[in-house]
Structure 1
Amino acid sequence: MDIKANDPRNKQATTNASMIRYRVYSRRVRTMLYLGGVLQDRTHSAIRSYITGSLVILMCLSYCIFLMNLSRDHTDNLILMVKYFGLMCSFIAPALMSACFLIKREKLFELHETLNDLFEQELSRDQETALATLYAFDRPSYIVFFTVASTVLLYVCPPLISIIRQIVHHTEPRRYRLPFPAKFPWTVPINGGFLFYLHFLYHLFVGWWMLFTINSVDSLFGFYAFQISSILRTMSVKLANLRSRETFSETLKTCVRMHRRLLRCSHMLEDIWQLIILRMLLVNSILICALIFEASQFTDITINEVSLLIFYIALKLLQTFMYAWYGSFITSSSEHFCEGIYFSQWPDSSLDRHVRANVIVTMMQKPITIKALKVSSVNVNMFTNILNTAMSYFFLLQSLDKAG
């Protein structure tokens, strides 16, 4: 068994499979960005990007206004108010993501090109180390996509099935309903017709942006986090395995320069995603609390409502944990790199005083961390803090409900 495990052919086959998986991962993220209307690429014109991005913003924000209009009719019902507020917070997300990507368009170009060049360099030298943590980033994106898709379909499928059933069975009078709750300033017919189907199409588009825009932006953050952490880990391994003093000196100089570029990339990543992460910090704890409170108040609940609540709560937990997990990966890889320099043979190498000074400065720097507007670090502690906050809000809502 040990001979087979150490067989170079098996290792090469595993590496090739990981390489194929990485290319598929990269293409999938790009495809989702395109379908979500937020792809920023030099091969696409700026006009096209602004048109699709503005469409996402317009449709999602307009739905939030219609939902707010509906919530005004139920100010005396705490459960419905909490439910509508939660939906409103969720549908703001695609609009915010699209706006951030349009505003930071040039930084996205620079971030993508810099990370892609650095990662491809390391990939050509050591594929096994560069792709070692691929599954930790690739698999969560599949899980989150499945959860988001299930949540959106649980909203869209029941009214769609109901419409098809009434048409097939020639039911009279027909009573149709839209996928998402909303109140328009005008009357929408419930017995079909062009106006109803136009509104139904509008809801389908809103659900489409919810599915692909949110999932693509979250996956892109994970993709960049994977590249940054993998580059740091390959540099750590490279420094630990060098034996020649002359080769070590040149490699150390290169690693210090690459660390500077990665530090700039992490600042750009933080700048682009800081509002998105801050919204998640503020909203997800409220949404988790609202969903648990909504579930605790139901006495007569359908299977569809149970499934919807379960998938929605799972989605918010997974989304929060995914960001926290990716941020922790970057910080951990940065710590390993600094330790790799510290325990290497740099004091005995033939480095000039300028390079030695840069090495000392690199070791003295704090590990790379992603922060949301300098308010909170994106790590596993952030996930536990959100859960604690959600439970505090839940007990507060229970107290208000009992007092009312």
Structure 2
Amino acid sequence: MHVLPESFMMFTCAGVWQPVHWSACDSRFLLYKLYTLFSIVLVYTLTISELMGAILLTQSLEDFTDISFLLISTISVCCKIASIIARRDRVIHLTEMLLEVQCIPKNVRELEITRKFDKIARFTALSCIVLAEATVVVMSTGPLFQKAENRTLPFKSWLPYDSTTTPCTFWLSYVHQTAAIVLCATVNVANDSLICGFMTHSCSQLELLNRRLLELPRAVKLKMKKLPRRLMCNVEAMIVSRHVKHHVHIFKFAENINVIFTPVILVQFCMSSIVLSLSVYQLAVRSANGIQFITMVMYLTCMLVQFFMYCWFGNEVTLKSVEFGQAIYNIEWTSLQVQTSKDLMIMMIRAKRPIIMSSGALVTLSIKSFTSILKASYSTFNVLQRSSHN
């Protein structure tokens, strides 16, 4: 993909995003469909076995939290897989919106702006995948250091057979859990970096438009060197019209992000609050050895980073859209025609309603939401702690 290649590559590796240039006649088409089915079966069977474990194997609050803190994450991944497959065409349309004429940089300065935000999106995707997969490695290597007679699977779950009867059944179960959790981590990072990457591109387009508006008087002067002065009004109207269309296009782009990813963002917020409280509870209540402690700290870090990314980038889009309205004030109004000034005032009025990244009317992506969820998680943790003491 021409946009956010790292995120789409991770989706492809996880088996949930077939490259768009592959046709049905391509031999790889069928093979990838089979790989997609294989990936879905791996992830969903792990989720089902963990869910059954939470129902059948829990005898205390500690047992329940021990299974549930990872179960909730895998349920979230199942939702993300279903969403990206079902909304594939709409995601492709979203990437194509960034290929519109007004979105393409026109000179070196504009190219520097787009490259700056591309680097931010790339750094976010790569740093998150390193953190996530490192956490998976630490979580999955525990059984390798255990004695054969005391060896247990890395993740508690219910299985329709006894995995300890023979080494073969144990290692098959181990490979299944490890492969599934690697896919879960990859899909999680791919989905989160994709949504945050689209929000980064919204910021990029707003900054491009800011620069173009500030250069409006100079652009008019350059045009007028080749045209008679009586056409000055028409030239300004044409340039402003182009900027208005770009502004409307950015709002549509942000709105499409909200509409396409609303279910995923809503699930993520609901799950994050529960996972954070369960993870902190695990750290605070259970006596853990070195590897267990490191595992839980890394997992909690992943959850915090994942949740913070949504809030940070959503907040950045809102701030950039507010800055756009303020940038119109900095234009050299005195060098423009009266009608052009009136058109810019209309843009200014529209910019007073900033872009809000949200999940319907329930969740707003902002730093304030991040702190609110942390408070809710802490409250849940206190409830769990009191329950365990009782």
Q: Return the TM-score normalized by structure 1.
A: 0.81
2:5 to 20, 27, 40: 27
% identical equivalent positions:
18
1:197 Cα deviation after fit: 3.6
Corresponding residue for 1:328?
Answer: 315
> Aligned equivalents of 2:143 and 2:377: distance in 1?
31
Higher deviation after alignment, 221-230 or 236-245: 236-245
- How far residue 313 of structure 1 moved from its aligned partner, in angstroms, is 0.9
Measured after TM superposition, the shift of residue 186 of structure 1 is 2.6
Equivalent position amino acid for 1:273 in 2: F
Is the contact between residue 66 and residue 182 of structure 1 (CA under 8 Å) also seen in structure 2?
yes
Q: Does 1:100 align with 2:70?
A: no
Q: Is the counterpart of residue 228 in structure 1 residue 202 in structure 2?
A: yes
Matches within 5 A, 1:5-404: 26-39=4-17, 41-45=19-23, 52-117=35-100, 121-122=104-105, 124=107, 126-160=110-144, 162=146, 176-193=151-168, 195-244=169-218, 245=220, 246=232, 248-299=236-287, 301-344=288-331, 349-350=336-337, 360=346, 363-365=349-351, 366-403=353-390
Q: Is the CA contact 1:37–1:56 (under 8 Å) kept in the aligned structure 2?
A: yes
Distance of 1:281 and 1:218 partners within structure 2: 12
d(CA) in 2 for partners of 1:280, 1:255: 35
Contact kept, 8 Å, 2:15 with 2:36, in 1: the verdict is: yes
Q: Distance in 1 between matches of 2:283 and 2:309?
A: 24
Structure 2: gaps of 5 or more residues = 221-231
Deviation at 1:264, TM superposition (A): 1.5
Cα deviation code 1:114-173 (max 9, x no counterpart): 1244586126552223334455443333332222112211122222455xxx7xxxxxx7
Q: Pick which of 111-120 and 256-265 moved more.
A: 111-120
Q: Any unmatched runs of 5+ in structure 1?
A: 1-22, 167-172
Letter in 1 for 2:10: M
Shift of 1:29: 2.5
CA deviation string 1:94-123 (max 9, x = no partner): 211111112212111110111244586126
Deviation, structure 1 residue 218: 1.1
The amino acid across from 1:259 in the alignment is H
* SS, match of residue 188 in structure 1: coil
Q: 1:333 to 1:55 in 2, by over 3 A?
A: farther
Secondary structure, aligned partner of 1:185: coil
* Corresponding letter in the other structure for 2:127: I
Q: Conserved in 2, the CA contact under 8 Å of 1:249 and 1:346?
A: no
Say if 1:57 and 1:99, in contact at 8 Å, map to a contact too.
no
Match of 2:229 in 1: none
Q: Distance in 1 between matches of 2:40 and 2:325?
A: 42
What is the RMSD of the two structures over their aligned residues, measured on CA atoms? 2.9
